[in-house]
Structure 1
Amino acid sequence: MAVSDPTLDVEHELLGAYPSLASGAGCVIGCDEVGRGALAGPVAVGLCAIDVNVTAMPAGLRDSKMLSEPRREALAPLAEAWATHSAVGLATAQEVDELGIIACLGLAGKRALLKLHDSGVDLRASVVLLDGSDDWLTRALGTPLRVVTRIKADRDCGSVAAASVIAKVHRDRMMIAYDSLTPGYGWSGNKGYGSAAHMSAIAELGPSELHRRSWLKTPA
């Protein structure tokens, strides 16, 4: 079954649905998470804000899971240049252990939103287009923000696909850099996910400071 490329249809609907967006005061902010199921490393939330002046998406843009690593690397700077603003927020492995993964999605999202705010995005005049059906972002925010959830938004919506690519490349680069700082776990290849080689390394070396220890069956 052929997979269609994302469009900006939903974003255009949202841009026309709210007076603040139609006037150019706010943005549609595509939102997606990366690293939720990893055993090690941070969880990341990417945001891609677009306004009424948005132009055609970068050619070949898709959900990060549908792209090879070289294609993601090539598309990430194009997505960042295309977006009105973009940001990535992180929550550490230690925070995941302390707070749980859902709370850390919200924490990383809040950190990314703060970066957008600091770059000049009027968050109260904007609307967040969040991938999935669970609005974990609203639960984490101390102030109200318009959030629209959509299943498969990372596949269907250009702003969310861009957010997924930007966040994935950002997190992957972090894990590759960690490979030289904490060798032996194969971060460059597995990016913190539970591959067979990664699990063998944990059994041999024990968990590192990058591991979500509450997720491991191996004693800490």
Structure 2
Amino acid sequence: MTAVRPSLRVEKRLLGAGRVTVIGMDEVGRGAIAGPVGVGVAAVTIDVGRVPQGLADSKLLSAARRTDLVPVVTRWARTAVGMASAEYVDRQGIVPALGAAGAQALESLVAGGLSLDGAVVVLDGSFDWLTRAVPASLRPPTDPLEVVVQVKADRDCASVAAASIVAKVARDALMIAAHDEAPHYAWASNKGYGSTAHYDAIRTVGAHALHRKSWLHQASSVSLDGFDALVG
């Protein structure tokens, strides 16, 4: 698949309208049945350099290319990744988990010295799952943190594409590390998504602590005969 080259058109429009910082934000692992959901952020300001060569939505890049781009992206923008665990997804639901991971990523930016005063978040998608999750301690005292949602922002907006890359690489690394402990789930290859090998392993050995148990009960893409006995 040919990668679509993202631009800074949206970011420069927001900066030209008076925003001090534009923070691209994207999630990874939303549809997985195991592992955390992750949210990446990449913050740029008016002095942002040219879009790094080869930058694209993480889904359009090979694993090797994504890994190669991480140091490039982290020099180009201020980045961070937040995670919400599978247990959190089970307990609170996926939308609150996305919000918690996004707030954690913003908190990491602030801890690294970035001010959210005058900032705007460009969030990939059509639904704002972030605003309600941002704690009062992170909200700028004089100017509310604005969130702009945009469909296909991970494809079109350079800051969001950068966020997608750092989040994808970080989450994949966690799942590959978890594979060493539980190789029968094939997490090194499926990264926690519901592949045939993954479901076969659940049938054989049961669910792992990293599985989203509530999601497994709702799984419909593969027949899981006797599944309730494995995860009940």
Question: Is TM-score (shorter-chain normalized) higher than 0.5?
Answer: yes
Contact kept? 1:27, 1:121, Cα under 8 Å: no
- Cα deviation digits, residues 76-118 of structure 1 (max 9, x gap): 22111111x1100000000000000000000000111100111
Q: 2:69 aligns with which of 60, 64, 75?
A: 75
Contact kept? 2:3, 2:61, Cα under 8 Å: no
Contact kept? 2:99, 2:129, Cα under 8 Å: yes
What CA RMSD, in Å, does the superposition of the two structures yield over aligned residues? 1.3
Does residue 151 in structure 1 map to residue 142 in structure 2? no
Secondary structure, counterpart of 2:183 in structure 1: coil
- Cα deviation digits, residues 172-200 of structure 1 (max 9, x gap): 01100111122311110000000011010
Q: Distance in 2 between matches of 1:35 and 1:148?
A: 21
Does residue 133 in structure 1 map to residue 152 in structure 2? no
Q: Distance in 1 between matches of 2:87 and 2:12?
A: 39
Residue 221 of structure 2 corresponds to: none
Q: 1:102 aligns with which of 95, 98, 102?
A: 95
Identity %: 54
Runs of at least 5 residues in structure 2 that lack an aligned partner in the other structure: 137-143, 218-226
Residue 13 of structure 1 corresponds to: 13
Q: Distance in 2 between matches of 1:107 and 1:51?
A: 25
- The within-5 A match list for 1:1-220 is 4-18=4-18, 21=19, 26-83=20-77, 85-143=78-136, 144-217=144-217, 218-219=227-228, 220=231
Q: Distance in 1 between matches of 2:111 and 2:86?
A: 25
- Cα deviation digits, residues 14-66 of structure 1 (max 9, x gap): 11112xx3xxxx31000000000000000000000011111012111100011
Q: Distance in 1 between matches of 2:35 and 2:63?
A: 18
Q: Distance in 1 between matches of 2:117 and 2:88?
A: 27
Q: Distance in 2 between matches of 1:182 and 1:146?
A: 42
| Corresponding letter in the other structure for 2:81 | V
Secondary structure, counterpart of 2:117 in structure 1: helix
Deviates more, 1:29-38 or 1:181-190: 181-190
Q: Distance in 2 between matches of 1:64 and 1:78?
A: 14
What's the offset of the Cα at 1:139?
A: 2.1
Runs of 4 or more consecutive aligned structure 1 residues displaced over 6 Å after TM superposition: none
Deviates more, 1:51-60 or 1:40-49: 51-60
Secondary structure, counterpart of 2:130 in structure 1: helix
Contact kept? 1:58, 1:82, Cα under 8 Å: yes
What's the offset of the Cα at 1:4?
A: 3.4
Q: Distance in 2 between matches of 1:3 and 1:75?
A: 14
Q: Distance in 2 between matches of 1:107 and 1:170?
A: 17
What's the offset of the Cα at 1:3?
A: 5.8
Deviates more, 1:139-148 or 1:89-98: 139-148
Deviates more, 1:210-219 or 1:142-151: 142-151
| Corresponding letter in the other structure for 1:15 | L
- Report the TM-score, using the length of structure 1 for normalisation: 0.93
